[in-house]
Amino acid sequence: MITPEQERAFYDRQYAQFLAMPDHALRMDRAVLLGNMSNPEHPFFERRRLYRAAMVELEAEPLAGKRVLDYGCGPADFGLWMAAESAEVTLLDLSPLAIELGLKRAQASGVARRVKGVAADAAKLDMFADGAFDLVFACASLHHTMKYPGALEELARVMRPGARLVLCETWGGNRPLNAARRWRARRQGEEEEQGEAIILAEAEIELLRRHFGELRVHQLSLLAMGKRLLRGRFRSAWARAAVMALEATDRVALATCPPLRAWCGEAVITARR
Ligand SMILES: C[S@@+](CC[C@H](N)C(=O)[O-])C[C@H]1O[C@@H](n2cnc3c(N)ncnc32)[C@H](O)[C@@H]1O
């Protein structure tokens, strides 16, 4: 298993390239976030339905004044969007460069006074008091932190009773799809830190149930997971048409046969402390 040091070095390398970007390219707010999701040339296009579903959950209760933790924030797109919606946001990541980038983006977005950054291992959050947060958002990061002993306990501790947890994750309920993911990751020489082997599924949900109530898993993208094969090609009209046809088929299939959701490849998971 990889160590936190290897994971930190991997993500530091990933984020270093963004630090040199000019302020206008670092800015984040609702319009930028939605614009990125609908831009076929932006990496967010591929996960736009998942990200929209997460935004709907995050906005289900007013964000203004909420103490929000963007957990494993990476470039912090969602944390910065929530700061632009007047939330008080703390960015947390193992990678110091992610935090440097997040704070630079907060400055560029005019929300620096509402954003703090902490570079730390999620398994040891003693810099935060018990019940310090009203809302925790983790996008593609809980599956990384859960493997470290104590991480879930610390997550639960820093949330006040009644606080919401919103997770945006790849979903591992489909064994052939999981095998295909691992095969693709090996074939493309992806590093272990990219996490294809650690995907949230029922076993992890059971672990979450020990600390959280009102747990709901909203799976999406069944045939639409075929979009992974088209990554990098969405500027072509045929690739976009293919993804949209798969999404339309999913809408019908999942509405007519809801148990198929268990076989989907992505999920927004919500819970309450
Ligand atoms: C796949 S990235 C997701 C980043 C971001 N949330 C996003 O959606 O773009 C996973 C993030 O989790 C962070 N991470 C991994 N292990 C961690 C740990 N033990 N404590 C805190 N952050 C961690 C990594 O540094 C990385 O930024």
Q: Whose C-alpha lies nearest to ligand 1, atom 15?
A: 144
Residue 251 alpha carbon to ligand 1 centre in Å: 31
- The finding on whether 141 has its CB within 6 A of some atom of ligand 1 is yes
Q: Whose C-alpha lies nearest to ligand 1, atom 1?
A: 140
Q: Whose C-alpha lies nearest to ligand 1, atom 5?
A: 74
Q: What is the pTM of this model?
A: 0.94
194 CA closest ligand 1 atom index: 1
Residue 73 alpha carbon to ligand 1 centre in Å: 6
Tens-digit pLDDT profile for residues 192-208: 555 555 678 888 999 99
pLDDT score for 194: 59
pLDDT score for 189: 73
Burial call 16-35: b when 16+ CB within 10 Å, e when fewer:
eebeeeeeeebbbbeebbbe
Round to whole Å and give the CA distance between 98 and 92: 9
Amino acid present at 177? L
pLDDT score for 196: 52
Residue 173 pLDDT exceeds 90: no
pLDDT score for 7: 87
Strands 67-71 and 133-139 turn out to be parallel
Within 10 A of 189 (CB to CB), how many other CB atoms are there? Answer: 6
Report, as an integer, the average pLDDT of 144-160: 94
Strands 213-220 and 266-272 turn out to be antiparallel
Please say whether the structural domain 4-223+264-272 has been given the CATH code 2.60.120.10: no
Residue 216 alpha carbon to ligand 1 centre in Å: 22
Report, as an integer, the average pLDDT of 107-135: 97
Q: Please give the share of the chain, as a percent, with pLDDT higher than 90.
A: 82
Please state, rounded to an integer, the average pLDDT across all residues of the chain.
93
- The finding on whether 139 has its CB within 6 A of some atom of ligand 1 is yes
Residue 47 pLDDT exceeds 60: yes
pLDDT score for 90: 98
pLDDT score for 198: 63
73 CA closest ligand 1 atom index: 6
pLDDT band at residue 186, thresholds of 50, 70 and 90? confident
Q: Whose C-alpha lies nearest to ligand 1, atom 12?
A: 72
